[in-house]
Amino acid sequence: MSAPTQATEPRSITLGAVALDCPEPYRLAGFYGSLLGWKIQEGDKPDDDWVTLVNPDGGTDICFQRDPEYKPSTWPSRERQQMLHLDFHIPDLLAERERVLALGATLLDDKPERFHVYADPDGHPFCLCS
């Protein structure tokens, strides 16, 4: 099998959403909505199996899919690997720390100078990057 090549002509395909498995989609969408200042899609309800957090800038949405057997990553251990993580760019790492922790995140690593690693309430790692 040959290695993929980079596209040289424009494509009509775009990234519409990133989806995270979780036990309670509406609750986790609320966490990220508070973090980002985004709104849950109108009509989505707390008992829905799929909830969309709408990107107000028209870019990629973040969706949450119910998985009753979801198990969180054990990062940095590789026992249960992370399959994906989200990076959010912010102006000041330390200024956001208390707010993010108050929303329900857990600090995993604050040693890097330009980013800190957190886990959301369901254990998905994400980074705040300056």
The reply to whether 6 falls in a domain is no
* Token pair belonging to 80: 């249960």
- Residue 3 confidence (pLDDT): 62
Domain that holds residue 113: 71-130
Rounded percentage of the chain residues whose pLDDT exceeds 70? 94
**Is residue 4's pLDDT more than 70?**
no
Q: Is 7's pLDDT higher than 70? A: no
Q: Are 101 and 58 in contact (CB under 8 A)?
A: no
Residue 49 lies in a domain: yes
CATH number at 19 reads 3.10.180.10
How many structural domains does the chain have? 2
Q: Which residue has the higher pLDDT, 30 or 6?
A: 30
Closest Cα to residue 77, out of 37, 29, 109, 49?
Answer: 109
Residue 102 and residue 58 share a domain: no
Residues 46 and 92 reside in one and the same domain? no
Same domain, 45 and 95: no
Q: Is residue 98 part of a domain?
A: yes
pLDDT score at 12: 87
Q: pTM (2 decimals)?
A: 0.86
Tens digits of residue pLDDT in 101-115: 999 999 999 999 999
Rounded Cα distance between 87 and 69, Å, is 25
